[in-house]
Amino acid sequence: MRNYRRFLRGATGAVTGTFLGALWGVLQAQSNPAALAARQYRQQHERAIVDEFIDLLSIPDIAADRANIERNAQFIAKMMEKRGFTPRLVGVPGSNPVVFSEIDTPGATRTLVFYAHYDGQPLDPKEWATPPFSPTLRDRALDQDGKIIALPATRFDPENRLYARAASDDKANLLTLLTALDAIKAAGLKTKSNLKFVFEGEEEAGSINLEKILAANKPLFSGDMWFICDGPVHQTRRQQITFGARGITQVDITVYGPRHELHSGHYGNWAPNPAMMLAKLLASMKDDNGRVLVDHFYDGVAPLSATEKKAIADAPDVDQQLMRELWLGSTENAPKKLMELINLPSLNVRGMGAARIGAQASNVIPATAFATIDMRLVKGMDHHQTAQRLIEHIRQQGYFVVDSEPNAETRMAHAKVAKVIEKDGGYNAVRTSMDLPISQEIIRTVESARGPTVLMPTSGGSDPREIVERTLGVRTIGIPTVNHDNNQHSFNENVRIQNLWDGIELMAALLTM
């Protein structure tokens, strides 16, 4: 089937290919009975599906907000009880609960585990157009001047967007999985595998307790394949499968100037300015084309296999489309393409600050300057070693590096002092071979539900699949469903309604594998 699709695309060029691809998708979706049943079910229950989703999204879900996290867990457990499950809340002291449940299928010879997370990224509500936990429907995306609309009585325009924290990342996948189960049941379809559902509550805090939770409950969480249901589909809106995920490590850097802010007139030119010091330090970390200058940063990166290289070459080229969508006049590491670059490690300044900006700015030399960095890792890199290499780089720039607040003596003893914190929750990258029989079966199943599919050796994002693989000795594959332009990790996160519908069909196909 994949050969036929490729033939079509090769023979007709990109534009016609897109049309035929869409047609193929329609035909393929009809070829998977569970996906077809899911479509029919969804068409009859759109409003009820979204109502349940809105209830879920209305519960604040930042991992550090323990009281509301507990409310989420209880609500999800009730969602599962309504469907006849006997859910369990599984945790370790200090952790947010994992909501777990399972379906035993008589005669099944394998177990498929479906993972999603119910916590959302931290946020600043002031940045949001509408409150992040008051789910709001718009006729289209905000940056296309989408207007707030009332929920329709029955059918939704598929281009509508629902705005709320975790609408895409990652409560959408709880919804698509449970709705797909409803559809399978309503159609009287049978499951072939044993199924487990694992819904984590602190993925956006780096899955800091997941390893302990899994290690303490290995039989409960074991299976033949973990589906990591998270992340966006391809920018062309085609379905996508990610066979790996980048690892991550985060480092917080504080650079010190005078003990307290100083009047920039009375001390400017004399007192070191930590904002300028930080600027020079950050500037030393990458060259002008985006290559990381930290010594040994790229050491040990595992090469891609022939199949993986081919998958990258076959993926649609979206760079020009994305540059238009994102108003970009240039890209880093050009002329390399996005698809190639997310298979390489990265260093990103995710936040930076010194003194005040805007109306509150004043003429001071700041006392400190702060930057927070995430580094994405690919297979073959170690997260702790990578953080240490960055720390060594900071030392090479002349800094005395400490890992807690430096006192007066320390600050006076060194020309430049930086506090550098390697944050908890780092993990390594993993990559499942596309050549395994189960990988090939999953590709066929996904394409039977969703048509032409982009095969990604590595997801650009990071998720806890490395923890899962290492702790349980299982394989993982990533199943994304949401739109790429969902603002996940930023303000105004949203999900496109059609992606919810597609996700339900996809999950129905995988649940009946």
Which residues in 280-299 contact a second copy (CB under 8 A)?
280-283, 285-286, 288, 290
What one-character-per-residue DSSP string does 29-77 give? Answer: HHHSHHHHHHHHHHHHHHHHHHHHHHHHHTS--BTT-HHHHHHHHHHHH
- Minimal distance, residue 47 CB to a second copy, in Å: 30
Number of residues in contact with a second copy under rule CB under 8 A: 108
For a second copy, which is the closer residue by CB, 471 or 492? 492
The order of strands in the sheet holding 161-163 is: 136-138, 161-163, 494-496
- Please name every residue paired with 377 in a beta bridge, in sequence order, or none if there are none: 247
Nearest to 14, CA basis, from 273, 299, 233, 320: 320
Q: How far apart are CA 38 and CA 36, in angstroms?
A: 5
Q: 400-439: which residues touch a second copy (CB under 8 A)?
A: 408, 411-417
For a second copy, which is the closer residue by CB, 178 or 390? 390
Nearest to 226, CA basis, from 473, 392, 24: 473
If one counts every other C-beta atom within 10 angstroms of the C-beta of residue 370, the result is 17
- Minimal distance, residue 398 CB to a second copy, in Å: 9
Give the relative orientation of helices 497-511 and 33-57 as an angle to the nearest 10 degrees: 130
What sign has the CA pseudo-torsion 25, 26, 28, 32? Answer: positive
350 lies in the site for a second copy, by CB under 8 A:
yes
Q: 455-474: which residues touch a second copy (CB under 8 A)?
A: 459-462
302 lies in the site for a second copy, by CB under 8 A:
no
Strand 225-228 and strand 400-402: pairing? Answer: unpaired
3-class secondary-structure state, position 162: strand
352 lies in the site for a second copy, by CB under 8 A:
yes
482 φ, ψ (degrees, to nearest 5): -85, 165
66 lies in the site for a second copy, by CB under 8 A:
no
For a second copy, which is the closer residue by CB, 92 or 367? 367
- Minimal distance, residue 224 CB to a second copy, in Å: 27
Q: 70-99: which residues touch a second copy (CB under 8 A)?
A: none
Q: 370-399: which residues touch a second copy (CB under 8 A)?
A: 370-372, 374, 376
Of the residues 28, 32, 95, 121, which one makes contact with a second copy according to CB under 8 A: 121
244 lies in the site for a second copy, by CB under 8 A:
no
Q: Print the binding letters for residues 246-285 with a second copy: x by CB under 8 A, - otherwise.
A: x-x-x-----xxxxxxxxxxxxxxxxxx-xx-xxxxxx-x
Q: Print the binding letters for residues 99-118 with a second copy: x by CB under 8 A, - otherwise.
A: --------------------
351 lies in the site for a second copy, by CB under 8 A:
yes
For a second copy, which is the closer residue by CB, 184 or 292? 292
Paired tokens of 211? 């390893």
Q: How far apart are CA 329 and CA 345, in angstroms?
A: 23
Paired tokens of 250? 């985060």
Q: 163-222: which residues touch a second copy (CB under 8 A)?
A: 204
Q: How far apart are CA 239 and CA 234, in angstroms?
A: 6
Q: How far apart are CA 171 and CA 229, in angstroms?
A: 10
Q: Where do the H-state alpha helices sit in 122-245?
A: 171-186, 210-216, 218-221
361 lies in the site for a second copy, by CB under 8 A:
yes
Q: 470-499: which residues touch a second copy (CB under 8 A)?
A: 484, 487-492
For a second copy, which is the closer residue by CB, 18 or 372? 372
24-32, 38-46, 110-118, 119-127 -> range binding a second copy (CB under 8 A): 119-127
For a second copy, which is the closer residue by CB, 208 or 342? 342
